[in-house]
Amino acid sequence: MRTREEELKGLGADFTFGFIQVMDGEKDPRNLLVAFRIVHDLISRDYSLGPFVEELFEVTSCYFPIDFTPPPNDPHGIQREDLILSLRAVLASTPRFAEFLLPLLTEKVDSEILSAKLDSLQTLNACCAVYGQKELKDFLPSLWASIRREVFQTASERVEAEGLAALNSLTACLSRSVLRADAEDLLDSFLSNILQDCRHHLCEPDMKLVWPSAKLLQAAAGASARACDHITSNVLPLLLEQFHTHSQSNQRRTILEMILGFLKLQQKWSYEDKDDRPLSGFKDQLCSLVFMALTDPSTQLQLVGIRTLTVLGAQPDLLSSGDLELAVGHLYRLSFLEEDSQSWVAALEASGTLATLYPVAFSSHLVPKLAEELGIEESYLARGDGPTKCSRHRRCLQALSAISTHASIVKETLPLLLQHLCQMNKGNTVAGTSEVIAVCQSLQQVAEKCQQDPESCWYFHQTAIPCLLALAVQASMPEKEHSVLKKVLLQDEVLAAMVSVIGTATTHLSPDLAAQSVAHIVPLFLDGNISFLPENSFPGRFQPFQDGSSGQRRLVALLMAFVCSLPRNVEIPQLNQLMRELLELSCCHSCPFSSTAAAKCFAGLLNKHPAGQQLDEFLQLAVDKVEAGLSSGPYRSQAFTLLLWVTKALVLRYHPLSSCLTDRLMGLLSDPELGPAAADGFSLLMSDCTDVLTRAGHAEVRIMFRQRFFTDNVPALVRGFHAAPRDVKPNYLKGLSHVLNRLPKPVLLPELPTLLSLLLEALSCPDSVVQLSTLSCLQPLLLEAPQVMSLHVDTLVTKFLNLSSSPSMAVRIAALQCMHAVTHLPTPVLLPYKLQVIRALAKPLDDKKRLVRKEAVSARGEWFLLGSPGS
């Protein structure tokens, strides 16, 4: 057929008939696949079928629905799904089969077998792509009856989904057909049938059939603009009326949720003419209904109201400015509801979405209210009032950041937040650490929202960063009266919060603008050049690298946040000096916070530096520093931290020196003093940082670095474990479990047979961190590699049961989760243990902790079902 199409077609319908005779009675799935393809070609390439259309249909449709299970060890690899799809391609390839196929499909949808139902509905769905009104006309009532029955009665979500999809395609097909002028439009009568059968169920919001009915109507309405219009104009007035007829909150919620579904469908169709939009006539009713929902005491109804408001807002030109003002007022009120209501979260989210569409409404009606609120909070904070006020303060900050979704709003909210932060640190206000952190978090969220728009991004950067640096520098100045409140800014947590603001505000800068900024900030730290800070009359000099004040050294963290987030191609002035100063500070005997910040900053820069002589020099300096520090003396732990971060920087970029440094780190596992820290260091090496060495911050992070680290180092770790003296063995296990834990499971599976014995040994390790990490490593393996794991079922069951009475609650929970996961192993392997396990699991059912009992219940329940009928 591929090469002699002309000649074969010349044979006319005889060829088709001959083929039908050959194909008749075929059973081998390999031949069937070929035969189905030939039939498909006969039809699609327009071979003459002559009078044999029905015969051709019979000879293929007798295989429908496909019921084929490939034999085990089938060498041909033909799956049931292959046959289903190729037969479906044939059956749905031509409208000429319609009169034979549609009755067959109706019959099979009505069958008892789930797979037959699914296949029939999917095939019907496929047919609708080529059929028209003519083919469907006579079968619509029976098709609708079958689909309706399936959706109303089924227990299977898949049948329901396929039924709805088929109804959607049917309606789309009817909507699309071009009609002769005199023909009756079947779409209208079909939709009227659906409405007639479903409408009345919508009036019973407590009953089971309400949702299936709504889903059917929505599936039909989702097919075309015409269908949507027809159904919405019928259903919406009914639902609006029903909302008022029913007074209970949960009934109203169901009704509003249905309305929401219909409104969402509107978004699929764009109406060019404003007056054509079917919703405009219902706008006022819908708004008043939504506002009723928003003022209802039921949280659930509020939540649906908020979602409906968002959808209404997304309709172009629907809401008037008066509606918006009311809406903003409601959102403001909801944003300050109590903590346990979920409405405030939803209200903030909706505010963010709507603010992008209606920035003016939010600027004029919400920002002033929030500014006023913030002023009141400042005065409360000044008086040192209790926690209730604090939560209002938080909410206000969250609202400000939530609505900063539009450039024009950011220009109002950012100055407000910064001014607030300055106020909190001025003279008489006593701000708690957590309040300052809350402002920083809010700033960080605003920064995140600005990232995508270059202009807002630069606006945020050049407004916020000098202000934050000025505040921090001010706080680090030596003062006569050591005011407590200024020191708040220098605390670890507050600085960490500022670090994330600065990082977020820097990563998306264009290289040009970033270069402008770096020319100010590096000299600030190296030379104390404060000229670009907004308020720069300080009582002393700022020399974080030279002077002895520990407060100033802590601010190196802020430098780190900035330089480690810059795009890679931005040149850093005075780099050589900067790197040396950082190295010096990293091993200096000051507070761990500043030496770690210096080490991280050094590592961050190292990771991005292009290979070459300068990089090698930096590395040599670092290695010398580390070795000098590790050899002896008071700086061992600082030198270790530096080693760890430098190693991480190099591992991430596959630098050749990384293996050498990793070996050094591994050597420290048996160090009596640093061993445990070295073990935990493996966790840092394998995990993702949030502040430096991140992909978002343009660090060089190779995608496969974990796999590579695993292949390069795990054999050595295992050897080290076997060779190590008893007392340091746990360090090796801990290091290993950190590596395994972070590894993608597909990489781990092939390595499992060699490592499993070690992991099982790790389960007996008394360290609860090792236990926990090993359990969380084994749990997914039980689900994904049941065959390998079932070889060790005896050990696994025994050890998990032992750990289920561990003193640590987290270990007990993890062990019971593993006991649950064990049930995924092949049942015959488990049955010998069933009684013993069920008996043993009775004990954790009486655990003193509820969370443990919960896991015990679900594990024990599953064990009961093993090998039992009906499971």
Residue 785 C-beta: closest distance to another protein, Å? 22
Residue 106 C-beta: closest distance to another protein, Å? 18
Among the residue ranges 69-77, 200-208, 493-501, 534-542, the one whose residues contact another protein (CB under 8 A): 200-208
How many Å apart are CA 853 and CA 846, to the nearest integer?
Answer: 7
Contact (CB, 8 A) for 768 and 808 = yes
Residue 391 C-beta: closest distance to another protein, Å? 17
Roughly how many angstroms between the first and final C-alpha of the chain, as a whole number? 51
Among the residue ranges 136-144, 482-490, 786-794, 843-851, the one whose residues contact another protein (CB under 8 A): 843-851
Q: Residues 677, 683, 686, 688: what is their CA dihedral angle, to the nearest 10 degrees?
A: -110
Q: Is 868 in the site for another protein (CB under 8 A)?
A: yes
Q: Is 112 in the site for another protein (CB under 8 A)?
A: yes
Residue 856 C-beta: closest distance to another protein, Å? 8
How many Å apart are CA 665 and CA 661, to the nearest integer?
Answer: 6
- Residue 548, SS3 per DSSP: coil
CB closer to another protein, 641 vs 823: 823
CB closer to another protein, 387 vs 753: 387
Find the binder of another protein among 206, 571, 617, 727 (CB under 8 A).
Answer: 206
Q: Is 203 in the site for another protein (CB under 8 A)?
A: no
Residue 781 C-beta: closest distance to another protein, Å? 21
- What does 230-282 look like in DSSP terms, one character per residue? HHHHHHHHHHHHHHHH--SHHHHHHHHHHHHHHHHHHTTS--SSGGG-TTGGG
Q: Which of 137, 138, 142, 136 is nearest to 110 (CA)?
A: 142
Q: Is the dihedral of CA 266, 272, 274, 275 positive or negative?
A: negative
| Residues 210-229 interacting with another protein (rule: CB under 8 A) | 210
Among the residue ranges 98-106, 529-537, 784-792, 861-869, the one whose residues contact another protein (CB under 8 A): 861-869
Max CA distance (Å), the chain: 108
- What does 800-816 look like in DSSP terms, one character per residue? HHHHTT-SSHHHHHHHH
Contact (CB, 8 A) for 601 and 641 = no
In sequence order, what are the residues at sequence separation of 6 or more whose Cβ sits closer than 8 angstroms to the Cβ of residue 780?
A: 745, 821
Instruction: Give whole-number Cα distances, 476 to 18, 58, 101, 324, 600, in Å.
Output: 95, 88, 82, 46, 21
- What does 384-436 look like in DSSP terms, one character per residue? T--HHHHHHHHHHHHHHHHTTTSHHHHHHHHHHHHHHHHHHHSTT----HHHH
Instruction: Give whole-number Cα distances, 298 to 203, 253, 259, in Å.
Output: 21, 9, 18
* Exposure of 218 in the CB half-sphere (CA atoms within 13 A): 21
Binding mask 789-808 for another protein (x = CB under 8 A): -------------------x
| Residues 474-533 interacting with another protein (rule: CB under 8 A) | none
Find the binder of another protein among 72, 73, 155, 481 (CB under 8 A).
Answer: 155
Q: Is 853 in the site for another protein (CB under 8 A)?
A: yes
Q: Is 268 in the site for another protein (CB under 8 A)?
A: no
Find the binder of another protein among 129, 183, 360, 851 (CB under 8 A).
Answer: 851
CB closer to another protein, 383 vs 843: 843
Residue 171 C-beta: closest distance to another protein, Å? 25
Length of the chain equals 871
Locate all alpha helices (DSSP H) within 587-667, ordered by sequence: 592-608, 613-631, 636-652, 657-667
Q: Is 299 in the site for another protein (CB under 8 A)?
A: no
Please count the other Cβ atoms lying within 10 Å of the Cβ belonging to residue 871.
10
Find the binder of another protein among 22, 628, 809, 835 (CB under 8 A).
Answer: 809
Residue 861 C-beta: closest distance to another protein, Å? 6
Hunting for tokens 């799809």 — which residue is that? Answer: 85
Q: Residues 59, 60, 62, 64: what is their CA dihedral angle, to the nearest 10 degrees?
A: 180
Q: Residues 162, 168, 171, 173: what is their CA dihedral angle, to the nearest 10 degrees?
A: -80
Q: Is 297 in the site for another protein (CB under 8 A)?
A: no
Q: Is 860 in the site for another protein (CB under 8 A)?
A: yes
454: alpha, beta or left? (left if phi > 0; alpha if psi -120 to 50): alpha
Q: Is 248 in the site for another protein (CB under 8 A)?
A: no
Please count the other Cβ atoms lying within 10 Å of the Cβ belonging to residue 482.
8
Q: Is 113 in the site for another protein (CB under 8 A)?
A: no
Q: Residues 141, 142, 144, 149: what is their CA dihedral angle, to the nearest 10 degrees?
A: 140
Q: Which of 287, 343, 293 is nearest to 315 (CA)?
A: 287
Among the residue ranges 216-224, 323-331, 711-719, 857-865, the one whose residues contact another protein (CB under 8 A): 857-865
Residue 830 C-beta: closest distance to another protein, Å? 16
Give burial (CB, 10 Å; 0-12/13-18/19+) of 476: buried
Q: Is 338 in the site for another protein (CB under 8 A)?
A: no
Residue 205 C-beta: closest distance to another protein, Å? 9
Q: Is 848 in the site for another protein (CB under 8 A)?
A: yes
Q: Which two tokens stand for residue 245?
A: 């007829």
CB closer to another protein, 213 vs 401: 213
Residue 153 C-beta: closest distance to another protein, Å? 8
Residue 853 C-beta: closest distance to another protein, Å? 8
Find the binder of another protein among 193, 209, 386, 605 (CB under 8 A).
Answer: 209
Residue 845 C-beta: closest distance to another protein, Å? 5
Find the binder of another protein among 153, 267, 687, 757 (CB under 8 A).
Answer: 153
How many Å apart are CA 383 and CA 566, to the nearest integer?
Answer: 41
Q: Is 145 in the site for another protein (CB under 8 A)?
A: no
CB closer to another protein, 342 vs 529: 342
Q: Is 870 in the site for another protein (CB under 8 A)?
A: yes
Residue 204 C-beta: closest distance to another protein, Å? 8
Among the residue ranges 215-223, 410-418, 673-681, 859-867, the one whose residues contact another protein (CB under 8 A): 859-867
Residue 865 C-beta: closest distance to another protein, Å? 6
- Quote the DSSP letter at residue 627: H
Among the residue ranges 147-155, 670-678, 691-699, 782-790, the one whose residues contact another protein (CB under 8 A): 147-155
Binding-site size, another protein (CB under 8 A): 34
Find the binder of another protein among 22, 129, 179, 207 (CB under 8 A).
Answer: 207
Among the residue ranges 47-55, 569-577, 587-595, 855-863, the one whose residues contact another protein (CB under 8 A): 855-863
For 144-163, b/e burial (b = at least 16 CB within 10 A) is bebbbebbbebeeeebbbbb
How many Å apart are CA 354 and CA 147, to the nearest integer?
Answer: 38
Among the residue ranges 75-83, 152-160, 486-494, 714-722, the one whose residues contact another protein (CB under 8 A): 152-160
Q: Is 871 in the site for another protein (CB under 8 A)?
A: yes
In sequence order, what are the residues at sequence separation of 6 or more whose Cβ sits closer than 8 angstroms to the Cβ of residue 260?
A: 304, 307, 308, 311
Find the binder of another protein among 79, 106, 142, 154 (CB under 8 A).
Answer: 154
CB closer to another protein, 44 vs 871: 871
Find the binder of another protein among 31, 189, 250, 711 (CB under 8 A).
Answer: 250
CB closer to another protein, 61 vs 300: 300
Among the residue ranges 131-139, 285-293, 608-616, 858-866, the one whose residues contact another protein (CB under 8 A): 858-866
Residue 349 C-beta: closest distance to another protein, Å? 19
Q: Is 864 in the site for another protein (CB under 8 A)?
A: yes
Would you tell me which residues interact with another protein (CB under 8 A)? 112, 153-156, 201, 204, 206-210, 250, 300, 808-809, 842, 845-846, 848-851, 853-854, 857, 860-861, 864-865, 868-871
